Amino acid sequence: MNRQSLKMFFQSIPGAQWTVRRLRKLARPGRFLVWHTAHEPFRSNFIEQARLKLGPPFLEIASGTRRLGPEFVNLDLNSNRQVNVRGDACMLPFGSRSFGLVWFEAALEHLPDPVRAVSEIGRVLKPGGWVYVEIPFMQGYHADPGDFQRFTIEGLEHLFADFDIEWIRSCSGPASAFCYSGVSFCATLFSFRSRWLYKILFHYVFCYLFFPLKFLDRFLIDHPEAHRTAFGYALCARAKTYAKN
């Protein structure tokens, strides 16, 4: 049975695809345990504050197939039912001072020119408008379609120097980073230079062996030194009220 036939056979089994999707979500080596943002109260409360203090519309860059709320304009490189505008984060097709909030999650690392993208965010934000960013730090290479950089906390402070930074925190801690590295290391070690075997071991074997360790982030993420090996950071900043957009 070749690979395509095996895939078709698997898809014919009732409930098989649903089960695998749930298992893969459980054992994802990446953004499995994320500080507050994985839980609805943080996200809804943050958006509600922006709604009351700044007012819609809001913008999500690289929204994918989700919609955070009816007041959001979704921008992505690829079309789907949830995308309102196809466009590039480095050249936002919106007027200056258009949005009270820009949500930019797990996408900055995929841009070849992050400085220009951040400048564009500053341009389209209303004075005093919020930008929320999540970006990996100790996550391995993941092209979507490219993967260009990582930032330390100091790097984020420099990148957003033209904003008033309210906070930068670890959004996924050192246990998640350790899991990701461990999964990747073991898949590399036991795949014997086979890319196909590496993917099988990474996604269907070692993910399930390592993922319980990620729960340690519930205790580690608030450690004062957790930022040194955190899986990723979250940043909240405001456009300066006196900025000349």
The predicted pLDDT at position 30 comes to 44
Residue of 170, 135, 160 lying closest to 238 (CA atoms): 160
The predicted pLDDT at position 31 comes to 44
Taking only the tens place, the pLDDT of each residue in 56-105 is 999 999 999 999 999 999 999 999 999 999 999 999 999 999 999 999 99
Residue of 111, 119, 120 lying closest to 161 (CA atoms): 119
Q: What is the mean pLDDT of residues 151-156?
A: 96
pTM for this predicted structure: 0.84
Sequence-separated (6 or more) residues with CB below 8 Å from residue 128: 54, 238, 239, 241
Domain boundaries, the chain: 33-174+220-239
What does the alpha-carbon distance between residue 6 and residue 225 come to, in Å, rounded to a whole number?
Answer: 47
Residue pointed to by tokens 């246990």: 175
The predicted pLDDT at position 205 comes to 87
- Cβ(80)–Cβ(65) under 8 Å? yes
Cite the beta strand spans of the chain per DSSP E.
Answer: 58-61, 72-76, 85-86, 99-105, 125-136, 163-172, 232-239
- The pair of structure tokens assigned to 82 is 């949830």
Q: Which class does domain 33-174+220-239 fall in?
A: alpha beta
Residue of 232, 209, 233, 220 lying closest to 27 (CA atoms): 209
